[in-house]
Amino acid sequence: MNKSKANISMRRTTRHWLRESLTLLVEALIWIGCLYLTVSSSDQKQSQLLLYFAINLVPIIIATRLIPNNAYSRTARRDEVVACAMKTALAVSILVFAINRYSYPLLLACLLFCVALTIERLILNSWFIRYSLRHNENGVIICDENTVWQQKALQQNTYGLKLARLEEQTAQQLEAYLTEHPETESVYCSPTALPAKEFEDVAHTCRKQGVVLNLLPQPVYAMSKAMQSECRGNVNVLSPAKLPLQSIFNRTIKRLTDIVLSLLVLLTVFPVFAIIAYVCIKRQSRGPVLMAQHMCGMDGKTFLCLTFRTRHYEAAPSFLEGINDPGYFPFGKFLTLSRLELLPQFLCVLWGSMTIVGSQIMQPDRYPDYRRELRQYFVSSHRLKAGITSHHFASQTQGSTKADVWYYRNWGFWLDIRIMIQRLGTLLKQSKAKSINYI
């Protein structure tokens, strides 16, 4: 390794340790601030407060060392950053209550720290991605015509990679390039682009120049998004990717979100609207106010789905006329166009048979076809609950099954929030445009 490369490596290491130290200092100050706002009182002496704060700095130091901070990752998703911050805050809380007696102000300090730490980590992650785009990681890629798509994928803006492709795919040219450009940090090589002996020379050159050699796997186009690389013994294999909702932590977050939001709707909006719906439906049509239908949910299991009745009880459905079908009574048309007929489904969400944002809801006779479509995307089972809304309806994309698969593979807390906001905006526009005439 030449002197210039050694200096670059030393500067990079110094920046890393300086960044980690400043982050630890900021998070320690946030923790002390949370303690000061909630636990400290005016009758405590300054020396007692300083000793108390010093003792309670130990948990934050231990927790941040045990749980790596992914805020400085180019590829970490926001929900992963939030999950890491919440795990760190939970570890701090456990350690704090291990060395202190339980008290309500201390619990409040831990909750406040969880919120503040999450916001701080999200800000750091956003800043780091912006910084990475201005200070790209320099690299070299060795690939053939069949794997040139990998170069385009690696050069996405969020990764902050600046790649150069060699004109001649040889170890000699690579060594000359690395000598001329000592700022190069990594080499990306497709083994199929080189003969075995040439590949060994490339690996030797990378070791000699002190750069990281990354191997690009052979392209598996149909399965690339559904697979992940992992090491089993001395063999690197492609195995089914671990999806976000396979994590118990993520499933718990989603379930808690469903419970909180469904309770909020059922305790505020639903009682008032249920009375209005009862009066209007009974005046305009004989029969029950609610309708219960058997629908398919997770793994094809059936459940009773509740909705407000929108059609005359004896009327046969006419799919040709749509909303102009005479089977609808006036208030039923309003419920259908505004989608307020779905409000009782929040009861199903609270019971656990549905979720607020999930897969498309379907009748049992439609499920076998849906299951066959899932297998085309290498999804062996239907592991999503039926949702009041879905990514397909919120984004108004073509192909509901493809949208369900995309949502399942890319789930995140903030994705759920975004879908809810998009769906609400769509419903407000539709209601304002069409349904006012049916009230």
Residue 233 has pLDDT above 70, yes or no: no
59 and 141 together in one domain: no
pLDDT at 71: 84
Report residue 145's pLDDT band, with 50, 70 and 90 as the boundaries: low
Confirm whether 230 is domain-assigned.
Answer: no
Confirm whether 228 is domain-assigned.
Answer: no
DSSP string, 39-64: T--TTS-HHHHHHHHHHTHHHHHHHH
127 and 141 together in one domain: no
- Please report, for the domain that includes residue 183, its CATH number: 3.40.50.2300
Report the alpha-carbon distance of residue 435 to residue 396 in Å, rounded: 20
279 and 345 together in one domain: yes
Q: Among 369, 343, 368, which Cα is nearest to 356's?
A: 343
DSSP-assigned beta bridge partners for residue 358? 390
The domain tally of the chain equals 3
The pLDDT of 96-113, averaged and rounded, is 86
Confirm whether 31 is domain-assigned.
Answer: yes
Residue 436 has pLDDT above 50, yes or no: no
Report residue 119's pLDDT band, with 50, 70 and 90 as the boundaries: very high
144 and 72 together in one domain: no
**Token pair in block for residue 338:** 């505004």
Report residue 117's pLDDT band, with 50, 70 and 90 as the boundaries: very high
397 and 255 together in one domain: yes
* Mean pLDDT over the full length of the chain: 78
Most confident of 178-187, 218-227, 232-241, 409-418: 409-418
Report the alpha-carbon distance of residue 313 to residue 433 in Å, rounded: 28
Confirm whether 161 is domain-assigned.
Answer: yes
Residue 153 has pLDDT above 80, yes or no: no
* Domain boundaries, position 187: 136-219
The pLDDT of 252-268, averaged and rounded, is 93
Confirm whether 299 is domain-assigned.
Answer: yes
Report the alpha-carbon distance of residue 282 to residue 289 in Å, rounded: 7
198 and 268 together in one domain: no
pLDDT at 369: 84
Confirm whether 267 is domain-assigned.
Answer: yes
pLDDT at 217: 66
The pLDDT of 338-355, averaged and rounded, is 90
274 and 408 together in one domain: yes
Confirm whether 210 is domain-assigned.
Answer: yes
Of the chain, the percentage scoring pLDDT greater than 90 comes to 11
DSSP-assigned beta bridge partners for residue 230? 237
